[in-house]
Each structure stands twice: as structure tokens, then as C-alpha cells.
Amino acid sequence: MKNQKVIDVYNGLVVKFKELISEYEIDHNDYQDLVNWMDQLGKAGEIPLFMDVFFETHALQEMYKNVKGTEPTILGPYYIENTPDIQNPGVLPQRENEPGDVLYFSGTVKDIDGTPLANTKIDMWQADANGEYSYFAEGIPANNLRGVFYTDANGEFEVKTVVPGNYSVPTDGPSGQFLKWVDHHAYRPAHLHLLFQPENGDKLVTQIYFEGDQYLEDDVAQGVRGSLITKLDKHKGTEKGLKNDYYTAHLDFELRLQDKPVFNKAVLNN
């Protein structure tokens, strides 16, 4: 079936690529190098990684540029479906004596008019203190630091977890080679992933960042939004009967209801 949007994008891409060839004097050797690199990108299974790092954030910004509510940011490659349900308030599944500083993360979920959204499903996942994700690193149990919970009657939630570490995207393949060519580091700032699914509203995929992270201004994936940065407040462990000091962080969220949809087909189809 004919798709006019595909036709328009293809024609625009051809025009832009021809302009680049002329502007930067790309010869046939350069062209062959590009084709070979793209072939390696596909064979390495890194097309999703490359697109996530270099293009996803721009597509989201375009989609939401005139829309109210909490800003979205990239889903990333580390999302896993069907993780365990936990209580609210609750604890993300984790190893006994999970490495890292304890973090209590809380928030309130409302619609864009300020009405609390009870029973909103929240899927949360994150890297551990060493910047590694369960299912993607050896020695980490399944579903470690991954869980699903629901907001209470006031739209509020609180989760006990650990402060995540920042990490490097994979650099041993063609995507890493590209980063070397453009002289850019491969690191992302520490963050929490959240997927909100209200009962009658748009899904929201977003991430939470922390003040003071060295990569906030230079995130390789360009996923940071100023409105998604929050503060880590340090507390004495004795306040909660803990051996070590702990941290708290808080951020409130505004979701769009179905009469004001953006993701009417959603980033995720589940």
C-alpha cells in the first residue's frame, strides 16, 4: 500500500544526501566506506543502538514540542517486559546487600490539569551502582532493580532502590567506531527509567537524572531534559534504622489523558 509519508521522507533524504555529497566532496571511496560501515552496523545488530543514541531524542522532541505535560525521553535498549509487581511504597527487587547507596525515590502523578491519577501503572528499571543492567550483564539476577507498581489514591508513590551509576554505551562495535570518528565519549549520566501507563491516558516513557552528574551537559544519547533533573538529598541512616547514610529524591509528573493524546499508538504496543 502506498505510503505518502515514506515517499516524502525518501525524496527529502535523497535531496539532502546529494547536497552533502557536493558540500563535503564525498567521493566514491568515501561512499564505499559508508556502505561497508552500515553493513557492519546491521550485522552487529547495532542499528537500534545507533538510532537510540543519535536520533530517538530528536524524534521525541519534535513529537512533543507543543504539548503540555512531563517531557518524555528515550526508552533505551534495556527495557524488559513483564517484570515483578511490587507494593507501593515498596522495594525494587535487588540482591542481598545490593552495592551502592540506598535511595528512596518518590513522586506524585497528575493529569495536565492537576488532578491526581490513582492506580497509574509505573514500570521502573535502572542500572546498578556499577552502571550495569540485569539481563545485559553477567552475574546479575533476573529482574534485579526492575519492577512494576501502581500509584495510590492520591497519585503518589515511593520506591526504595539504590543510586544508579553512570555507564558507557557499547563501544566494541561500529557504533563505538563512529563515536571515535566524531570524537565523543560514550557515557550516559546516571538515571532512573520510568514508563507510566495511566488507566485512560497516554503512556509516558521518561528518565530521571540527578544534579551534579558530570555527564548532564554532554550525554552521548542527548536524552537529558532540564525538567527531569532532581536533587539527591543525603540523610543520616539512623533516621530509618540503616547502618549507612541514605538519599532521597522526588519529582512530580503530569500525564496527558486520552482526549489529548500524543502516543495514540504509543512507543510501546503492550
Mind telling me the catalytic residues?
A: 133, 167, 188, 191, 193
* CA angle at 74 for the pair 167 and 137, rounded to the nearest 5°: 35
Q: Distance between CA 229 and CA 249 in Å, rounded?
A: 10
> Between the CA atoms of 12, 17, 22 and 27, what dihedral angle is there, to the nearest 10 degrees?
-160
SS in 3 state form for 141-204? CCCCCEEEEECCCCCEEEEEEECCCCEECCCCCHHHHHHHHCCCCCEECCEEEEEEECCCECCE
What size, in residues, is the chain? 270
Question: Cell numbers 564525498 label which residue?
Answer: 26
On the CB side of 221, how many CA atoms lie within 13 Å of its CA? Answer: 29
User: Would you call 137 helix, strand, or coil by DSSP?
Assistant: coil
Nearest to 120 by CA among 256, 264, 267, 25: 256
Q: Do residues 173 and 46 lie in contact, with contact meaning Cβ atoms separated by under 8 Å?
A: yes
Crossing angle of helices 174-181 and 28-43, rounded to 10° = 140
- For 174-205, b/e burial (b = at least 16 CB within 10 A) is bbbebbeeeeeebbbbbbbbbbbbbeebbbbb
Question: Cell numbers 552496523 label which residue?
Answer: 41
